[in-house]
Chain A
Amino acid sequence: GDSVTQMEGPVTLSEEAFLTINCTYTATGYPSLFWYVQYPGEGLQLLLKATKADDKGSNKGFEATYRKETTSFHLEKGSVQVSDSAVYFCALQNYGGSQGNLIFGKGTKLSVKP
């Protein structure tokens, strides 16, 4: 079945460092890909998305490019801030699968130190 694999955390960075969180997926067809962010004690928020190959999603300085050839959707940010500390989830939605069912990765916890 469809699945998402994320790099294991936690990831600890200093402020202004470059961030990459790897995400690869397995799916039939042409899924949509997402990054969600969860701040401490809160629910998830959509960070960015891409719906077809070579699309780049971007928001709040974060970017991710849908790479079908490598089945990847890595999250990047050029200069992280303390306020970016959160858990990041990669997810896919395959329109051929169960309606409404997002497949989530296990999440990667990011801690940014001043």
Chain B
Amino acid sequence: DGGITQSPKYLFRKEGQNVTLSCEQNLNHDAMYWYRQDPGQGLRLIYYSQIVNDFQKGDIAEGYSVSREKKESFPLTVTSAQKNPTAFYLCASSISGAYEKLFFGSGTQLSVL
């Protein structure tokens, strides 16, 4: 079945540590996105990529980095510069130019030890 796979489901980060969240899709979508969800808040866009080897900052990119070396993969690194990383992270994808419908993964809950 086609879809988006995020891993791990739960992740713990120590102080000063970088961690990487995985996002893989087999939908042949050109565009991929990372959102952050905090309790009682809407989703906020971290980074997005419309095509391989290209990506743009969203509204809250500070303390995060991404890469897009393959169409299927869009990993997100939460760096030590992100001082409040505890949140639920959601990856999504869409057909490029068709902004109407995003397909979401099941999310990764990141917590700080």
Contact = CB atoms under 8 A, between A and B. Distances in A.
A70 interface: no
* Chain A residues touching B, range: 20 to 34
A95 B97 CA distance: 10
A43 to B, nearest CB: 3
Contacts of B104: 43-45
A66 to B, nearest CB: 13
A67 to B, nearest CB: 19
Interface residues of B, number: 26
Interface of A: 4, 32, 34, 41-46, 49, 51, 89, 93, 95, 98-107
Interface of B: 4, 6, 31, 33, 40-45, 48, 50, 56, 58-59, 90, 92, 94, 99-102, 104-107
14 contacts: A4-B42, A43-B4, A43-B6, A49-B101, A93-B99, A95-B99, A99-B99, A100-B45, A100-B50, A101-B58, A104-B42, A106-B42, A107-B40, A107-B42
